[in-house]
Amino acid sequence: MGRLDEYAEISIAFEVVGRFDPDTLSVDPVARPWRKDYDAIETSGPRHWPKRFDVSKWGLFAAFVDDRRVGGATVARDTANMHMLDGRTDLAFLLDLRVDDGRRAQGVGRALVEAAEAWSVDCGLVEMKVETQDINSRACGFYEAMGFTLAEVDPNAYPDLPGETQIIWRKQLRSQSH
């Protein structure tokens, strides 16, 4: 649990500056930006994962600058009752990606995703899936730039978060030998 506590010290909160439009792959600015923090939702976030899932097969990644943690990523795989894995054992789910506010857009997220992808390939996984929301337009642009393709859009996925649309991205993973 100690590692997850340290991991959770990096905030996942972000500024909502626009809504990603999956039909046009563009961003519509919001009239009044706001800060969204999914860790603030009760029973959400890294500290709650071990209570909900067997995390023994997961990959947990950390990014440091000058001995200071500035980011983290978590990949779930082969986990019973995690619906995002679609019942597959060859699928990686990038469950979480967080970068310190002061380090965003500096390559930390890219390095974390690349490490997560390499680990997934080493585990024999062939595809990576990631979920975000239309209100996290910067994340949508980031995943697209990282080579993920838009796979699913569900405006009804979050009954407790009305007005947020689920966006699922997928990426085929390639072995380093190819």
DSSP labels, 94-147: EEEEEE-GGGTTTTHHHHHHHHHHHHHHHTT--EEEEEEETT-HHHHHHHHHTT
User: Do 41 and 82 contact (CB within 8 A), yes or no?
Assistant: no
Residue the block writes with tokens 């910067």:
138
Map out the domains of the chain as residue ranges. Answer: 2-172
Q: Per CATH, the architecture of 2-172 is what?
A: 3-Layer(aba) Sandwich (3.40)
pTM recorded for the entire structure: 0.94
Q: In what order do the strands lie in the sheet with 59-65?
A: 59-65, 68-76, 91-99, 127-133, 166-172, 149-154
Predicted confidence at residue 2, as pLDDT, reads 64
Interatomic CA distance for residues 78 and 57, integer angstroms: 7
Beta bridge partners of residue 128, listed in sequence order: 92, 171
Query: Residue 59, class by beta-carbon neighbours within 10 Å (0-12 exposed, 13-18 middle, 19+ buried)?
Result: buried
Predicted confidence at residue 174, as pLDDT, reads 83
Predicted confidence at residue 127, as pLDDT, reads 98
Predicted confidence at residue 28, as pLDDT, reads 96
Residues of the chain with pLDDT under 50: 1, 178
CA nearest to 69, candidates 4, 151, 134: 4
Predicted confidence at residue 177, as pLDDT, reads 57
